Amino acid sequence: MTATAIVIDMLIGDPRWPTHPVIWIGRLIKRLERLLRRGQETTGGEEPAALRRKGMILAAVTVGCSGAAMWLLVWVCSLLHPWLGYAVNTWFISTTIAIKGLKDAAYLVYRPLTDNRLEEARKYVGYIVGRDTERMDEPEITRAAVETVAENIVDAVVSPLFFALLGGAPLAMAYRATNTLDSMVGYKNDKYLYFGWCSARLDDVLNWLPARLTGVLLTLLAFADPRLSGARAWRAIRTFAHLHPSPNSGIPESAVAGALGVELGGLNYYGGVASDRARMGWPLKELNREHIVMTVRQLYGVGLLLFMGGLLWAQLLG
- Pair 179, 190: CB distance under 8 Å: no
Which residues does residue 270 pair with via DSSP β-bridges, in sequence order?
273
E strand residue ranges, 185-299: 264-270, 273-280
pLDDT in tens, 222-257: 999 999 999 999 999 999 999 999 999 999 999 999
Three-state secondary-structure class, residue 266: strand
Lowest mean pLDDT among 44-53, 81-90, 290-299: 44-53
User: Is the bond into 18 cis (omega within 30 degrees of 0)?
Assistant: yes
**Residue 143 and residue 132: Cα distance in Å, rounded?**
13
Phi-psi region of 286 (alpha: psi -120 to 50; beta: other; left: phi over 0): beta
Q: If you compute the radius of gyration of the chain from its CA atoms, what whole number of angstroms results?
A: 20
CA angle 100, 106, 110 (to 5 degrees): 135
How far does the chain reach from its first CA to its final CA, in angstroms? 12
Task: Please report the pLDDT score of residue 40 as a whole number.
Answer: 63
Q: Output the pTM of the full model.
A: 0.93
pLDDT in tens, 133-155: 999 999 999 999 999 999 999 99
Report the candidate in 261, 154, 172 with the shortest Cα–Cα distance to residue 217. Answer: 154
**Residue 220 and residue 301: Cα distance in Å, rounded?**
10
